Structure 1
């Protein structure tokens, strides 16, 4: 991977900015969580309502982000999204410093950040194939996944450290605003202004109805491409199950086993460490990025998830199981975008990533209800194993569908 990054200088600069932005995201998420808990006085229903509003932009703007990425300059979209998030974060910082923050403001800030993230991500994924040679694309996706995992690992810890040092949560957000500016500068430096010279004329004047119609047309066309539809649809279904386990059931299981809250934090950190290791390993050893290969990794992930309750007998065993779960999950996270990129053209790669993002985020939002339903009918540990078996089953069916030949 290091050799590839030395050869692909433009990608290295872009990922440096993206890593800083991901760390800033981790700081932002840390500050947002503690602010929500403080403002709502730890009211679960009110906190849940704020997070629900954060999800809405995925449904409204998910299709729009992908279509714009395929029609407009990806460079302009990414820079605009970064600068907008810098402005929103700066406003959040000022509101916190002045003590003028409430439930409505938090909901609007959360929705705005999600909206511009929805516009940024398809453009980022769509720009990757143009920055590196074809043989380096899987390694590039692995490096991007490592940047995301490192941001999730370092950001909250950095936020906690800064909060301890300066004691004013508003000032902690200043680092987040700066990272978006650095990311925008890296995009400006690496992606040429003429990155979408092939875009259709008159795109800038294209009405919203036409943009959504274009996304809908692509959505209708995806089922006709069996491997692409399996990769997107079955992965989104797996995320429905996995989200329920990771966000709710695994922490609940550890609490039920008598572990301290710190052990839950360590377990999540070991998942992130496993994901870092898995991303590095996958980008080095994996050569098959086909849909059947993706479904195989989903089956392995489900198998490990089904066995995870057996690891809860001790803290070291739990950490080892979480590490392996994160490592296997990284193989999915690297193979999935590479697979979508290989099965897409430059004219629809953004729309395909937006379709996946919309379905995946919808599944993740619904995962809480699934976790609640499972916990009502079975012990938590059993529910995790049931989810693992469900993921294995989805992966198996997906493999069968992807490899089935036309009669």
Structure 2
């Protein structure tokens, strides 16, 4: 598919450029804040030495729990209030909360900055979802697919740049404190809020004025909850999407286990306190892992459309799960930092390739009347599976993270998923690859990202 003409159209579209600027400043700030938050939790002497897998799991769960739970309900809010105001207001609130975090973070563990961080991360759901929902308001339908792809890719790069900026600042021992890094992120949120407020009028990004108050907010939330159950029941009649969603939920559970093992290893078993008392090497490796994870996501976005056309989506899922099984098995036999770096790249290719295939299976294999509700069910399975994996690992992984036996169990589990899915889905592909095209203009029927 040629996209150069679409890119030229978007480059000349002033409203799209402004909306993209809102995304890039916001996501760059996200990268800076989340990197400074992770470093402050695991490497801040004021918070004590981080050496407990349960602490790693709890830190992720506390901060991402509200973000995950909000997922199915974000669309309800975005379809009833001005998206321009919600995006701007969320970023203004995050900028203000950065001040509280900057003042309380240096004093050690304090629920004030923990709660503020939770709100900041939860608000990110509204910002990213609002930006995605606003694209049809500023981009012609013929350019929409390219706009979505371009915005997501550049947003991921901006987020990675924010991560790298924070990591390099700490590696160079520049004297910049965690509080100052968080404050810099606040400036990014403030800039994003200013751009959206100055570039668009209240109704420019939707929803249509006549639709804003179609139903009350609380009624909409109640309808979303009941709709998720209806979507779950509908999956009983759509075996193809249901099976691949189950595979993704199990993958996210195992992914959470491997994540905890990796963090614990780099914080414990791989750390040589005598040669690296300040953990410079540890921070360097974690920065490398974060960058390779983003590279894997981008690689999957490039490879998956072609792979599903050549092999078919069902076989692509089998290949990805087999890849995870082989990679994790190799980790259990080597337990070397460089192998974990390679594994992060490959497992993230598998994870994102699986996600793309699941999304497409819902778009193509679920009736339009149920599609949004099924996406809500999928978002919940995706996040709950990951959180469950984090806490499962916390109970079986030792403090130094050296758990080759657990990795063997994970590898065997991936193998069982691979074989089980290949058998159960032998007559139920996720979707018909012959009718799917990466140029399809049908947008994802949910505003969550």
**TM beyond 0.5:** yes
- What are the Cα deviations for residues 31-70 of structure 1, in whole angstroms up to 9, with x where unaligned? 2123334343135456654543324424653333232123
Equivalent in the alignment of 2:418: 392
Stretches of structure 1 that go unaligned for 5 or more consecutive residues are none
Question: CA 1:62/1:389 → structure 2, altered by over 3 Å: closer, same or farther?
Answer: same
Q: 1:104, 1:303 → 2: CA distance?
A: 42
For residues 130 and 366 of structure 2, the distance between their equivalents in structure 1, rounded to whole angstroms, comes to 14
Report the Cα distance in structure 1 between the residues aligned to 2:410 and 2:85, rounded to whole angstroms: 43
Residue 211 (str. 1) matches residue 220 (str. 2): yes
1:381 maps to which of 407, 419, 432:
407
Calculate the aligned-residue CA RMSD, in Å.
4.2
Cα deviation 1:228-275 (Å, max 9, x = unaligned): 655655433432222322x12355678869997455653443332232
Distance 2:97 2:374 in 1: 28
Q: Report 1:94-133 matches (<5 A).
A: 94-96=103-105, 99=106, 102-129=109-136, 131-132=138-139
Which of 169, 187, 207 aligns to 1:196? It is 207
- Structure 1 residue 173: deviation in Å? 1.9
Partner of 1:356: 378
* Aligned position for 2:325: 306
Match of 1:41 in 2: 48
- Flag the structure with higher helix content: 1
Q: Is the 8 A contact 1:57 1:115 kept in 2?
A: yes
Counterpart mapping for 1:182-261 below 5 A: 182-188=191-197, 189=199, 193=204, 195-197=206-208, 200=211, 202-203=213-214, 206-208=216-218, 210-223=219-232, 224=234, 226=238, 232=245, 234-245=247-258, 247-250=259-262, 261=282
CA distance in 2, matches of 1:387, 1:153: 31
Report which stretch shifted further, 345-354 or 83-92: 345-354
Equivalent in the alignment of 2:33? 28
Of 260-269 and 66-75, the range deviating more from structure 2: 260-269
Q: Deviations over 1:149-184 (max 9, x none)?
A: 424532232113345334232222232112223333
From 81, 97, 100, the counterpart of 2:90: 81
How far is 1:112 from its partner?
0.9
CA distance in 2, matches of 1:16, 1:344: 34
Determine helix, strand or coil for the equivalent of 1:165.
Answer: coil
Q: Secondary structure at the match of 2:174?
A: helix
Deviation at residue 81 of structure 1 after TM alignment: 2.0
Q: What is the aligned counterpart of 1:54 among 47, 63, 68?
A: 63
1:272-287 pair list within 5 angstroms? 272-282=294-304, 285=306
1:193 is paired with a residue whose SS is coil
| Alpha-carbon distance in 2 for matches of 1:182, 1:349 | 35
Is the 1:74–1:127 contact (alpha carbons within 8 Å) kept by the matching residues of 2? yes
Does the aligned pair in 1 maintain the 2:297–2:349 contact within 8 Å? yes
Unaligned regions of 5+ residues in structure 2, if any? 273-280, 433-449
- 1:170–1:82 CA distance, 2 compared to 1 (3 A): same
SS at match of 1:22: helix
Q: Is the 1:22–1:148 contact (alpha carbons within 8 Å) kept by the matching residues of 2?
A: yes
Aligned residues: 396
Alpha-carbon shift at residue 130 of structure 1 (Å)? 5.0
Q: Secondary structure at the match of 2:79?
A: helix
Q: Distance in 2 between matches of 1:228 and 1:177?
A: 40
Partner of 1:14: 19
Contact 1:70–1:348 under 8 Å retained in 2: no
**Residues 256-275 of structure 1 aligned to structure 2 (within 5 Å):** 261=282, 262-263=284-285, 265-275=287-297
Contact 2:26 2:188 in 1 (8 A): yes
Structure 1 pair 371/379, CA: closer, same or farther in 2 (3 Å)? same
- Distance in 2, matches of 1:317 and 1:34, equals 23
